[in-house]
Amino acid sequence: MSSESTPALRQGAAGVESTESDGPAPAGPSARSPRSRSTAAYARYAAGKLAGAAVSLFAVLVTSFFLFRLIPGDPVKQMTGGRQVSTEQIAAMRREFGLDLPLWQQFTQYCGKALTGDFGTSYQFRAPVIDKITEALPATLLLTGTAFVIYTLLGIWLGARSAWRNGSAGDRANTAFALTLYSVPSFWLGLLLIITLSVGIGPVPGLFPTGGMESGDTEGFDRVLDIAHHLVLPVVTLVAVEYARTLLVMRSSLLDEMGSDYLTTARAKGLRDDLVRRRHAVPNAMLPTVTLLFVNLGTTVAGAILVETVFSWPGLGGLFYQALSVPDLPLVQALFFVFAAAVILMNTLADVIYPLLDPRVGR
């Protein structure tokens, strides 16, 4: 009855939890050798995963060279299309880009340079590919990163609540709402938001800019606010379309935990329902969600081509589209590599982190 009893119980709950997660690892000197054995096992496991990632990265490097050479179209002709150019100019450009060399020679040059981190010069922008990517990367990370944080938190929160009240009107409404948004094409939703919230419709005034990342006439803190203002609609669009996935995974994995004995135990101890959920059920249901989280994190780098286009966001998604349409081979190869590397890296990170979250993995 007294309020002091709650902290005591909380400690108790924490105790139960730690026993759960640490598994049967009794204290004492005898415990040392299995622990060091498990550390060695973990090191082997992690090294295996890292080696696998390195092999994947190399495969991507090679694939990206050949994959984009399958795209029909001559970059030089595409770039000079509709322009007054002489045959000599076209030949000079082909020479400059190394397109006159035999394929194997182009390939060895590409590999040699790529291994030193030099992805060459963009055909259409005449700038080092790395510069073009680093130029657009912050915009993309800002947009997709912000959206990622919000839809992950929102998805986990709503998913957990939905599962906990599984079958209730709230759960059904919640899931249906999320799924409806999930099936909406992002560019269409974006346009609707522009028309309603940006231009204004009826009594609703235009609240947000129609596109772009900044007005370009602000500095310092004002600039930060200006960018935040421009960020709202694209982030809302991305979150609206994306959060359902996290929600559903969270919901279903929590549902799997719902009947577990440890929850009954926790309830039997007299824990509040909220606490049972937050302290016991959710942490155990997190693993599949963490997987999804890392997959999502890996793809944030690739940006969101459609949303970036609708909101004229100067990010990597738009750059990739432009690179493909030429095809601007050095740029498209490097972007493909970076996108793939981000996914590989995040997956590897997830693999490496799992055993720390759940010791059953990696044994």
Partner 1 sequence: MVTRVPHHSVRPRRRLRLLLASGAAALALAAGSVVPGNPLAPAPSEARADDGKTTLTVAVAQSVDSLSPFLAQRLVSTSIHRLMYDYLTNYDPKDNKAIPGLATAWEPSADKLTWTYTIRSDSKWSDGQQATAEDAAWTFNKMMTDEGAATSNGSFVGNFEKVTAPSKDKLVITLKEPQATMAALDVPIVPKHVWEKVGDFSKFNNDKDFPIVGNGPFILTDYKVDSYVKLKANKDFWRGSPKFDELVFRYYKDQDAAVAALRKGEVSFVSGSPSLTPAQSTSLKSAPDIKVNDAPGRRFFALAVNPGARTKDGQRFGDGHPALLDQKVRHALFMAVDRKTIIDKVFQGHAVEGEGYIPPRFGDYFWKPAEGQKLAYDPAKAASLLDEAGYKKNGAGKRVGKDGKPLDFRILCHATDPNDKAIGKYLQEWWGEQGIGLKVECLDNVSDPWYAGEYDLAFDGWSVNPDPDFVLSIHTCAALPAKAKESAATDNFICDKQYDELYRKQLAEYDPAKRADLVKQLESRLYDTGYMNVMAYPNAVEAYRTDHIESITTMPSAAGNIYGQDGYWSWWSAVPAAGASSSGSSESGGSSTGVLVGVGIAVVVLAGGGLLFAMRRRSTAEDRE
In the complex, the smallest distance separating the C-beta of residue 207 from partner 1, rounded to whole angstroms, is: 5
- Does 10 interact with partner 1 (rule: CB under 8 A)? no
Q: What string marks each residue from 261 to 300 as x (binds partner 1 by CB under 8 A) or -?
A: ------x--xxxxx--------------------------
Q: What string marks each residue from 23 to 62 as x (binds partner 1 by CB under 8 A) or -?
A: ----------------------------------------
* Nearest residue (CB) to partner 1, 92 versus 103: 92
Residues between 204 and 223 with contacts to partner 1, criterion CB under 8 A: 204-218, 222
- Does 171 interact with partner 1 (rule: CB under 8 A)? yes
The pair of structure tokens assigned to 296 is 């999502």
Residues between 307 and 346 with contacts to partner 1, criterion CB under 8 A: 308-312, 314, 318, 322, 325
Residues between 97 and 156 with contacts to partner 1, criterion CB under 8 A: 121, 124-127, 135-136, 150, 154
- Does 89 interact with partner 1 (rule: CB under 8 A)? yes
In the complex, the smallest distance separating the C-beta of residue 287 from partner 1, rounded to whole angstroms, is: 24
Among 53, 231, 244, 343, the residue binding partner 1 under the rule CB under 8 A is: 231
* Nearest residue (CB) to partner 1, 38 versus 229: 229
d(CA 343, CA 359): 24
In the complex, the smallest distance separating the C-beta of residue 311 from partner 1, rounded to whole angstroms, is: 7
Residues between 235 and 264 with contacts to partner 1, criterion CB under 8 A: 235-236, 239-240, 243
Number of residues near partner 1 (by CB under 8 A) = 100
* Nearest residue (CB) to partner 1, 237 versus 300: 237
- Does 180 interact with partner 1 (rule: CB under 8 A)? no
Among 23, 28, 29, 81, the residue binding partner 1 under the rule CB under 8 A is: 81
* Nearest residue (CB) to partner 1, 101 versus 349: 101
Task: Count CA atoms within 13 Å of residue 280 on its CB side.
Answer: 29
